[in-house]
Amino acid sequence: MKEKRSNPRPAPREDAVADGIIEGRNAVIEALRAGTNVDKIYIMKGEVDSALGHIASTARSRGIVVVDADKRKLDSMSRTHAHQGVVAVAAVREYATVEDILQAARDKGEAPLIVVCDELSDPHNLGAVIRTAECAGAHGVVIPKRRSAGLTAVVAKTSAGAVSHLPVARVANLPSLLKDLKKEGLWIFGTAADGTTTLYDADLKGPAVIVIGSEGSGMSRLVSETCDFLVSIPMKGKLNSLNASAAAAILLYEALRQRL
């Protein structure tokens, strides 16, 4: 008689740890209990379960973003194919505060230069912006809590390690933050194809915030209305827009040129 073969669950792949994916109810609960830096937690829409409810309430009490996701989204994120309705994405480092960024400028005796990313959802774009910001001498990057990529392993890899050197803050309300930064004496420069200030007319030598809009729709209306200047980048080709990270690089290096 042949021995009956068992059919165990597949073991987690090594890259599941490397890319910061934590899945399954017990694994996520243990990560929260251990104080792991968690960027976001995705929970299956419509799932009513005490364990998932406990995960959601614990996460929210710690300021972790909880996102309702459909099964297709969770399946696409899963590495083990056994997510049990919950997937967490670990952050590669703790977020800074906006005050940390302003203090970094004070410590260097420089006018603050801050990059604000308005709902950049592509982690490769965010990583590229962080890398360029660090290289160009910006003092920090700010992202919104929701509808944005976070400090995940993919972002860290794309940034070529810049996330270890440049503070990144996350805030609940970008328009409110921009208004506060105006009170601190910073000028807000938003990137827009129909901007009324051309890149080379923008004075980026003083305390400045450069706002980069999302990949698809650019800056949100409220963020755009809060800007002091809407800056356009000269276009000579047949296309009329640039990738978000490319636009950020052009503005940051114009700021660096003016500050040298």
> Count of residues for the chain?
260
Within this chain, do residues 158 and 227 fall inside the same structural domain, yes or no? yes
Instruction: From 90, 110, 140, give the residue that closes a domain.
Output: 90
Q: How many CB atoms lie within 10 A of CB 135?
A: 15
Within this chain, do residues 65 and 119 fall inside the same structural domain, yes or no? no
Q: At 210, which CATH number?
A: 3.40.1280.10
Q: What is the pLDDT of residue 16?
A: 41
Within this chain, do residues 72 and 188 fall inside the same structural domain, yes or no? no
Q: What is the pLDDT of residue 250?
A: 96
The percent of the chain in helix, strand and coil, each rounded to the nearest 5, is 40, 20, 40
Its pTM stands at 0.83
Instruction: From 90, 122, 153, give the residue that closes a domain.
Output: 90
CA distance 215 to 209: 19
Q: What is the pLDDT of residue 215?
A: 78
Strand pairing report for 197-198 and 113-117 = unpaired
Q: What is the pLDDT along the chain (260 residues), one digit of tens a residue?
A: 444 444 444 444 333 444 688 988 999 999 898 888 888 999 998 877 888 999 999 999 988 889 899 989 999 988 888 899 999 998 888 899 999 999 999 999 999 999 999 989 899 999 999 999 999 999 999 999 988 888 988 899 999 999 999 999 999 999 999 999 999 999 999 999 889 999 999 999 999 999 999 878 889 999 999 999 999 999 988 887 788 999 999 999 999 999 99
The answer to whether position 3 is within a domain reads: no
Q: What is the largest CA-CA distance in the chain?
A: 84
Q: What is the pLDDT of residue 96?
A: 94
**Alpha-carbon radius of gyration of the chain:** 21
The answer to whether position 145 is within a domain reads: yes
Q: What is the pLDDT of residue 103?
A: 97
Q: Could you tell me the end-to-end alpha-carbon distance of the chain, in angstroms, rounded to an integer?
A: 82
> What is the domain range of residue 213?
98-259
Nearest C-alpha neighbor of 222 from the set 171, 164, 179, 162: 179
Burial pattern 226-240, b for ≥16 Cβ within 10 A else e, equals bbebbbbbeeeeeee
The answer to whether position 78 is within a domain reads: yes
Q: How many CB atoms lie within 10 A of CB 138?
A: 27
The answer to whether position 8 is within a domain reads: no
Per-residue pLDDT tens digits for 92-110: 888 999 999 999 999 999 9
The answer to whether position 5 is within a domain reads: no
Burial pattern 48-82, b for ≥16 Cβ within 10 A else e, equals eeeebeebbebbeeeebbbeebeeeebeebbbbee
